[in-house]
Structure 1
């Protein structure tokens, strides 16, 4: 589980030694008696931000002195910075060169998809002919009604379950009848604290069996190798798999020519998806992390991630004021395009929803095996595509 030579992360200790900040946002791992540590944080003048009992951690804002005091308690095993995660992608405006809505018999009907992102805009393609936004939780500001001040989460949702209502069915998602459970953890600048993401995943895990959430779509990356943080995600992913919830993550957005998979994409308990460019001919996508020909078994598969068309957003729309719901205006331009490995994650998430509709009893290993068997190697480096690109005609009835 967690084994560390020192209870305080080395970088956090350096910051404390030079009096860098008055307070620090940290993650604390507890061996036991987590509620006792929460009480000590509050009595010491700190603020408990999140408690995630599935992996025994607390997120808190506390002083350097309190950090040092907490490290002396036997219940505490490790304290580190609450790191940032970043949404994957490069914005490309109004280009419809790639479309993912092929014809098949499955639509992902009633399969839940947990999405941790920047929010979700009440776009007509998500509301008509029926509402696909099954659940929305704003971790940052606590708004009750869906909104998206960045646009990324809405775009990803459209790739997965958009109905194509605004385009007469042309730009529909891969699993148009799947249901989105959206957690807004990322701010308008595309950044999120790791603890907020872990909290969201923990909540999705808790409600997954009751709400038939089968897919965990995580279209973001962590741009540092922090073993403690990676271990937190790994433990949660393993718990997800045990209850039939499949985590899907991007390989990352660092240069394809290097050994650049450094974060969540290395975890074995998930499907790691890289991005490729298949517009005219199949080419490597420059900003998709690869394994540098190391034998690490990642990425697992690849999918197109260049110039995909999906839902636009009014990023200035706020869903409520003084507790009253506000309604969005009609978008002048209902669609936009986007490029990035997060698009490949959305595609594979939708494909998995179709597979679960066809056979709800599939396990993580079953699903990964099916996807690998139906994938075909492209004439590009294997280190950037894993087992290849999914041939959806081989995979779906």
Structure 2
């Protein structure tokens, strides 16, 4: 109980800073509920003016806004284990005008597998219902907008559409499920991200979602004790293979972003190739995360000419397509088994482990599983 009452452990340090800013009347928070989200804790939160935005059932958290003047009253509630600031994350992909000298079509497509029967979940900027997602069959199986509340699928940035299209290069028959948690300038609140994850858990069996792609990152120095990392690992425990980009903060070491720094997840960095030479992309974040934990796990091409898409988000999306091929071939296996198989199906670039992990995924080795 001593740790529970230590404010340094319970309360996100950023909350103190935000609450000290003159003129700030309320603060967006994410609350970890100690046991369950029941009527008792809801009443107590209501009494101190907390306005609930989401209940995140798969991890027992509540998101909402609290008047600054009642922050001490919130801290006094023993039912609340941790209090996080509802911060923003940014996506790790961007468009480019030219891909001169780069050929990311290197060993991308299988002649035997296409991901049929498997669905991939994207938490991104949305998805545009373009022709290749709709014909010859509709591959966009479900869409939910946590930013603007629109019903029909759309993408006001293009990042989510590029992510799904990149995953479709090796896995052109996969189903696509998309939660819009990021706005048109590629930023998203943690609360919308968590609500998107909760929705993925709710519908995963209905649409046979096997993989969730997290193409965002936050620079942190908190090990695995941040809310994005905790939630991403909880997704994994629900039976979903969680693929996270490593981040675009290279070339320095120890720059892996959250949630990709979580040892449980499959973390993807980027490499460049012209088909003959290979090198780690200069922007690709590198490990180690800890003395005994190297990241990324695997690297994939970071330039996708057909989508004018680059960054570790492009690499992670491509990795998701490869993972769908493993699920197609091996059917009902666990995320841990898929991660192990994908790491076995790699070819080394000859780079250091904290830069390349096991190397790049080799589609021929996946076909031979």
Q: Which residue of 2 aligns with 1:158?
A: 165
User: Deviation per CA, 1:135-177, whole angstroms, max 9, x where unpaired?
Assistant: 000011111100000000000111123xxxxxxxxxxx21001
**Structure 1 counterpart of 2:150, from 119, 143, 154:** 143
Gaps of 5+ in 2: none
Pick closer, same or farther for the CA change 1:367–1:260 going to 2, 3 Å.
Answer: same
**Structure 2 counterpart of 1:258, from 243, 253, 259:** 253
**Structure 2 counterpart of 1:93, from 97, 113, 138:** 97
Q: Which residue of 2 aligns with 1:344?
A: 315
Which deviates the most, 359-368 or 41-50? Answer: 41-50
Q: Which residue of 2 aligns with 1:46?
A: 50
- Does 2:220 match 1:224? yes
**Structure 2 counterpart of 1:24, from 13, 19, 27:** 27
- Does 2:171 match 1:175? yes
Contact kept in structure 1, 2:223 and 2:261, CA below 8 Å: no
Cα offset, 1:199, TM superposition? 1.3
- Does 2:332 match 1:361? yes
Cα offset, 1:118, TM superposition? 0.2
Q: Which residue of 2 aligns with 1:309?
A: 306
Q: Secondary structure at the match of 1:265?
A: coil
Contact kept in structure 1, 2:304 and 2:314, CA below 8 Å: no
Q: Kindly report which structure 2 residues correspond to 1:232-247, keeping only aligned pairs within 5 A, or say none.
A: 232-247=227-242
- Does 2:87 match 1:67? no
Contact kept in structure 1, 2:247 and 2:256, CA below 8 Å: yes
Contact kept in structure 1, 2:110 and 2:364, CA below 8 Å: no
User: Deviation per CA, 1:18-75, whole angstroms, max 9, x where unpaired?
Assistant: 5461111111111135343333333433321111122121111111122221111111
Q: Which residue of 1 aligns with 2:202?
A: 206
Taking structure 1 as the reference length, the TM-score comes to 0.84
Q: Which residue of 2 aligns with 1:300?
A: 297
Q: Kindly report which structure 2 residues correspond to 1:179-194, keeping only aligned pairs within 5 A, or say none.
A: 179-194=175-190
Q: Secondary structure at the match of 1:120?
A: coil
Taking structure 2 as the reference length, the TM-score comes to 0.90
Equivalents in 2 of 1:190, 1:266: separation in Å? 21
User: Deviation per CA, 1:249-280, whole angstroms, max 9, x where unpaired?
Assistant: 01111022322114211212210111111125
Which deviates the most, 216-225 or 28-37? Answer: 28-37
Cα offset, 1:341, TM superposition? 0.3
Gaps of 5+ in 1: 162-172, 311-336
Pick closer, same or farther for the CA change 1:366–1:292 going to 2, 3 Å.
Answer: closer
Equivalents in 2 of 1:265, 1:116: separation in Å? 14
Cα offset, 1:203, TM superposition? 1.5
- Does 2:112 match 1:109? no
Q: Which residue of 2 aligns with 1:327?
A: none
Aligned length: 358
Which deviates the most, 102-111 or 6-15? Answer: 6-15
Pick closer, same or farther for the CA change 1:56–1:292 going to 2, 3 Å.
Answer: closer
**Structure 1 counterpart of 2:351, from 357, 375, 380:** 380
- Does 2:12 match 1:9? yes
Equivalents in 2 of 1:347, 1:220: separation in Å? 15
Cα offset, 1:292, TM superposition? 5.0
Contact kept in structure 2, 1:30 and 1:77, CA below 8 Å: yes
- Does 2:275 match 1:268? no
Equivalents in 2 of 1:28, 1:244: separation in Å? 24
